[in-house]
């Protein structure tokens, strides 16, 4: 049998068009480990939702012990995972191999795997601001670009960052972003790490720095096409398997879109 695990909270609550003969299960609150333990060997599972749905799944059970075939059907709003794979939204993409040996982030006592990346800086601020909007208006459409622009101009302040990659230390002033990436994309289509290949064991930490707010704002849109890396005076990229990022003042961080507040440092291991 083929089971479709649907996250009703994904894609702003819009339910996909399932056919009548499909076995659909609401996966919100589902005990994934028990669900898989009860499956027959030839049963198949399709995970339906967005990046957050996949992130919750990979942290809910030991993916290395899954014996059944698992597929991914993208129905989120950002779909950075799908974009990184270069696949079509209507495909049921084999997921088993893609969720093995994933990197782990350690932050504020939390330990989580991730599929796309860790956003730290104004990207984390954007997620924090979006969460506040959703609290007041649960069905509101979030314009992350507008939040980012307002943050750049008025609310978010850059900071000094100490970056340690496989034991080598780098320090930068006026840092706006310092994400660590497994894939190329985050933030709903931003190609923050265009040279990153998720098949590699290494991760990319991208430092976006600039003293001028106006220049920062002018270059920012180029991130969507990955062209920001041409600004070598503003963008530095380091690759490694053990990355520690430390800020001189705390700010919000996001893990595949899930916000963590008041973060002074985080560490990722491939």
Q: Check the CA dihedral 187-193-194-200 and report its sign.
A: negative
Helices (H), 6-71: 32-37, 51-60
Residue 138 in this model has a pLDDT that exceeds 90? no
More confident residue, 237 or 79: 237
- Look up the CATH number of the domain holding residue 32: 3.40.50.10330
**85 and 40 part of one domain:** yes
* pLDDT (tens digit per residue) in 155-183: 999 999 999 999 999 999 999 999 999 99
**143 and 59 part of one domain:** no
At 15 the pLDDT is 60
In this predicted structure, which of 8-22, 35-49, 64-78 has the lowest mean pLDDT? 8-22
**118 and 89 part of one domain:** no
**76 and 138 part of one domain:** no
Domain boundary among 100, 126, 155: 100
At 63 the pLDDT is 93
The whole domain housing 49 covers 2-100
At 87 the pLDDT is 93
**44 and 113 part of one domain:** no
DSSP 8-state class, residue 201: S
**What's the structural domain count of the chain?**
2
Residue 134 in this model has a pLDDT that exceeds 90? no
**82 and 160 part of one domain:** no
CB 128 within 8 A of CB 182: no
Give the Cα separation of 158 and 146 in Å (integer). Answer: 18
- Phi-psi sector, 122: left (phi>0), alpha (psi -120 to 50), beta: alpha
Residues 55-75, mean pLDDT to the nearest whole number: 94
Q: Which residue has the tokens 């075939």?
A: 69
Helices (H), the chain: 32-37, 51-60, 80-85, 122-136, 144-150, 213-219
**203 and 218 part of one domain:** yes
Q: Which residue has the tokens 């849109």?
A: 221
- Look up the CATH number of the domain holding residue 157: 2.60.200.40
Give the Cα separation of 256 and 80 in Å (integer). Answer: 9
Give the Cα separation of 229 and 234 in Å (integer). Answer: 8
CB 203 within 8 A of CB 182: yes
Q: Residue 222, class by beta-carbon neighbours within 10 Å (0-12 exposed, 13-18 middle, 19+ buried)?
A: middle
* pLDDT (tens digit per residue) in 216-256: 999 999 999 999 999 999 999 999 999 999 999 999 999 99
Residue 244, beta-bridge partner list: 164, 267
Domain boundary among 100, 126, 141: 100
Q: What are phi and psi of 154, to 5 degrees?
A: -125, -40
**141 and 261 part of one domain:** yes
**50 and 167 part of one domain:** no
Reduced to 3 states, what is the DSSP secondary structure of residue 34? helix
* pLDDT (tens digit per residue) in 83-113: 999 998 889 999 999 999 999 999 999 999 9
Confidence of residue 12 (pLDDT cuts 50, 70, 90): low
**162 and 216 part of one domain:** yes
**16 and 112 part of one domain:** no
Tokens of residue 129, six digits:
């601001």
**122 and 78 part of one domain:** no
Residue 29 in this model has a pLDDT that exceeds 60? yes
Q: Average pLDDT of the chain? A: 92
Domain boundary among 100, 116, 135: 100
Of the chain, the percentage scoring pLDDT greater than 70 comes to: 96
């Amino acid at each position: 049998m083929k089971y479709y695990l649907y996250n009703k909270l994904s894609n702003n609550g819009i339910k996909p068009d399932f056919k009548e003969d499909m076995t659909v299960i609401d996966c919100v609150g589902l005990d994934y480990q028990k669900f898989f333990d009860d499956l027959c060997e030839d049963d198949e599972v399709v995970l339906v939702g967005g990046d957050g749905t996949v992130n919750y799944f990979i942290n809910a059970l030991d993916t290395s012990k899954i014996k059944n075939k698992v597929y991914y059907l993208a129905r989120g709003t950002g779909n950075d995972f799908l974009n990184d794979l270069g696949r079509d939204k209507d495909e049921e993409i084999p997921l088993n191999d893609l969720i093995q040996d994933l990197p782990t982030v350690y932050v504020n006592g939390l330990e989580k795997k991730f599929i796309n990346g860790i956003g730290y800086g104004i990207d984390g601020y954007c997620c924090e601001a979006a969460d506040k909007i959703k609290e007041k208006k649960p069905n509101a459409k979030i314009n992350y670009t507008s939040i980012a622009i307002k943050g750049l101009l008025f609310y978010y302040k850059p900071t000094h960052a100490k970056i340690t990659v496989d034991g080598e230390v780098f320090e930068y002033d006026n840092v706006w972003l310092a994400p660590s990436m497994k894939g190329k994309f985050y933030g709903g289509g931003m190609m923050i790490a265009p040279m990153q290949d998720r098949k590699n064991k290494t991760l990319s930490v991208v430092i976006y720095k600039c003293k001028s707010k106006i220049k920062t704002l002018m270059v920012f849109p180029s991130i969507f096409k990955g062209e920001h890396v041409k600004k070598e005076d503003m963008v530095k990229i380091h690759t490694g398997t053990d990355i520690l990022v430390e800020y001189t003042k705390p700010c919000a961080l996001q893990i595949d879109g899930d916000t963590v507040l008041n973060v002074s440092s985080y560490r990722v291991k491939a």
